[in-house]
Chains A and B, each alone.
Chain A
Amino acid sequence: MDYQTIIVEEKNAVGYLTFNRPKQLNSFNETMHQEVSKVIKAWAKDSQIRAVVISAEGRGFCAGQDLNDRVVDPNADAPDLGLSIEKYYNPLIKLITEMPKPVICAVNGVAAGAGANIALACDIVIAAKSASFIQAFCRLGLVPDSGGTWFLPRLVGRAQAMGLAMLGDKIPAERAVQLGMIWQVVEDEQLQAEAKKLAEHLAQQPTYGLSLIKKAIHAAADNNLDEQLILERDLQRLAGRSSDYKEGVQAFMQKRTPEYKGC
């Protein structure tokens, strides 16, 4: 399958999706939206793919919306920016957060606007030391989209979220780790190797169980404790029926390394 805007690779049960419009800092146009969505949708259903890595070519990660794309042309009559959000960004964020397997984001450079928030939607975000995050929306009179206003306060608290969203400052990767916005920062030249190592590790883990963890942690943002306790009970019921749980316990008893299948 040939793509114009992304590179897709599947190896050792890991799906690698790499944004590939380096000259435009990997900003999204319609084609890129369609290609990304197609791949992520397919991987969500593909039991052979048990972890996903999203990364990018070139010096940037993703600059968000390509402002040259016709859908956001400010010279047209009152552009409806809600359209591309409804059609592309919102479904993409839902695909990532509902994908029943770990999604790793390897942020190689600047992640701005929707680009930053697509990264924040992923489960484990690692960034190169030289990478940065910018909630650029406020500079153009816009609102953080792609889940930004939802993820930020939950990741860093309201005070920091407000500052990030209203000032649009460039936040270096190390600061992002300190704020609790992302998981880890690594040396630039280590980024792809670390992402691969992490993804290959996760892909061999009981990924069905990991999908339930993901679900529980996302649900926790809206649930009260009672609701969450009930959800944990239900998810544990499902987890207990998985063949991975059985394998895990057996391997422990037999003092061997478990072989998980992700079901």
Chain B
Amino acid sequence: MTYIKTSSPKPGVVLIELNRPEKRNALNNATLQDIAACLQDLETDAAVKAVVITGNTQCFAAGADLNELVQLDVVSIQQDQRPLLWKKIDEFSKPLIMAVNGYALGAGLELALHGDMILTGENAQFALPEIGLGMLPGAGGTQRLARLVGQQLTMRWAMTGEMISAQTALQHGISSQIYPVGLTVQYALELAEKISKQAPLAIRAIKQSLKSIHEVTLSQGLKLERQHFVWLAATQDRQEGINAFLEKRKPEFRGV
């Protein structure tokens, strides 16, 4: 793991820090590989309940690495490993929180959009600058962002590369809250900790259910939701949750 640092600042919570500050955390293949591999490890680690990804206070991630992009022609780009890496990140089944301070540009914004929740610092700036290079966002920038904020704004942002401030991002539902820069990661970790104490199977079901909203129709989605609901009835954690409520105590979930 050359380009990321991992730590566990709270029980059940892993913090991944992008660590390529000299390149403003540009997401080269190796960094993306590191993130995907790390999440794959955390996927199977039962002690890990939630993950936070952050950059540094000035920069979340400033896009793809142009030195790598310039080497790809229309033939070699067919064998580009990046779509596979993005898919691995997308498939992570535990809660993934993005703590975004500073710039999240291009692939940086796209990485943020792979999170289940985005919290930002006041200095956060998002953009899809690919158009300035004669390209378009290639890792869901047009697709995920449009599903989040609608076609109008995405069209504008993708066609101009305009900066999106923390305030604008909050206003349009890209993020759920803005914090002073020095506290973004702290609050993201607290949020992750709060989630880590919930019943893991229910959290997983919630994530699956919500991630399907853009894939299926409402009636299909309602069916899926109901299936999760029924399936969770067989879990011990559900019994524990209800018992604890009736006995006026805090539940202790075990993920079974």
Is B9 part of the binding interface, using a Cβ–Cβ cutoff of 8 Å? Answer: no
Interface segment, one of B29-37, B48-56, B64-72, B179-187:
B179-187
Interface segment, one of A87-95, A105-113, A189-197, A232-240:
A232-240
User: Per-residue 0/1 for B169-189: is the Cβ within 8 Å of any A Cβ (1 yes, 0 no)?
Assistant: 000000000011011001000
User: Per-residue 0/1 for A136-175: is the Cβ within 8 Å of any B Cβ (1 yes, 0 no)?
Assistant: 0000000000000000000000000000000000000000
Q: Is the interface of A mostly helix, strand, loop or mixed?
A: helix
Q: Which residues of B contact A231 (CB under 8 A)?
A: 180
Q: A231: nearest residue on chain B (CB-CB)?
A: B180
Q: Which residues of B contact A241 (CB under 8 A)?
A: 182
- Total contacting residues, chain A, CB less than 8 A: 6
Task: Tell me, rounded to whole Å, the shortest Cβ–Cβ distance linking A166 to chain B.
Answer: 31
CA distance A234 to B180 in the complex (A): 7
CA distance A234 to B178 in the complex (A): 11
CA distance A241 to B186 in the complex (A): 13
Task: Tell me, rounded to whole Å, the shortest Cβ–Cβ distance linking A100 to chain B.
Answer: 11
Q: Which residues of A contact B180 (CB under 8 A)?
A: 231, 234-235, 238
Residues 148-200 of B at the A interface (beta carbon under 8 Å): 179-180, 182-183, 186
Q: B181: nearest residue on chain A (CB-CB)?
A: A238
Task: Tell me, rounded to whole Å, the shortest Cβ–Cβ distance linking B121 to chain A.
Answer: 11
Q: A215: nearest residue on chain B (CB-CB)?
A: B180
CA distance A235 to B183 in the complex (A): 9
Q: Which residues of B contact A238 (CB under 8 A)?
A: 180, 182-183
CA distance A93 to B55 in the complex (A): 30
Q: B179: nearest residue on chain A (CB-CB)?
A: A234
Task: Tell me, rounded to whole Å, the shortest Cβ–Cβ distance linking A223 to chain B.
Answer: 12
Task: Tell me, rounded to whole Å, the shortest Cβ–Cβ distance linking A18 to chain B.
Answer: 31
CA distance A234 to B183 in the complex (A): 8
Residues 217-263 of A at the B interface (beta carbon under 8 Å): 231, 234-235, 237-238, 241
Task: Tell me, rounded to whole Å, the shortest Cβ–Cβ distance linking A21 to chain B.
Answer: 34
Q: A242: nearest residue on chain B (CB-CB)?
A: B182
A231-B180, A234-B179, A234-B183 given; name 8 further pairs at CB < 8 Å.
A234-B180, A235-B180, A237-B183, A237-B186, A238-B180, A238-B182, A238-B183, A241-B182
User: What would be 11 A-B contacts, judged by CB atoms less than 8 Å apart?
Assistant: A231-B180, A234-B179, A234-B180, A234-B183, A235-B180, A237-B183, A237-B186, A238-B180, A238-B182, A238-B183, A241-B182
Name the 4 nearest CB pairs between A and B, nearest first.
Answer: A238-B182, A234-B180, A234-B183, A238-B180
